[in-house]
Amino acid sequence: MKARVTVTLKTGILDPQGKAIEGALKSLGVDGVASVRQGKVFDIELAGADKAKAEAALKEAADKLLANTVIENYAIELKA
């Protein structure tokens, strides 16, 4: 089973990297960019086919390591 965990900064947390990317896009002349927030994507392959178990493992992974929940949110997406 495959899964994707997306980690994003919580709203209100200053994101200097996103700001720099936003500035770079503007200087490249990419039109219509209002703002950029950057984050991380983890593509994870899971052993076994139990969906509930996979979700529990991914939640544990995100809480324990992948995200720092002081400043970040995460979303788990299971793929068939």
Partner 1 sequence: MKAAILVFPGINRDRDMARALKLISGHEPAMVWHAETSLPVGTDLVVVPGGFSYGDYLRCGAIAARAPVMDAVRDYAAKGGLVLGVCNGFQILCESGLLPGVLMRNAGLKFICHDVHLRVERSDTPFTRGYNAGQVIRVPVAHGEGNYEADEETIKRLEGEGRVLYRYCSADGVVDEASNINGAAQSIAGIVNDRGNVLGMMPHPENHVEDIMGCTDGRGLFAGLVQHLEKAA
List of residues contacting partner 1 (CB under 8 A) = 13-14, 16-17, 20, 64-66, 68, 70-71
CB of 12 to partner 1, least distance (A): 9
Element (H, E) at 79: strand 72-79
User: Please, which residue, 66 or 76, has the CB nearer to partner 1?
Assistant: 66
CB of 37 to partner 1, least distance (A): 13
CB of 16 to partner 1, least distance (A): 5
SS3 state of residue 67: coil
**30-47 as b/e: b if 16+ CB within 10 A:** eeeeeebeebeebebebe
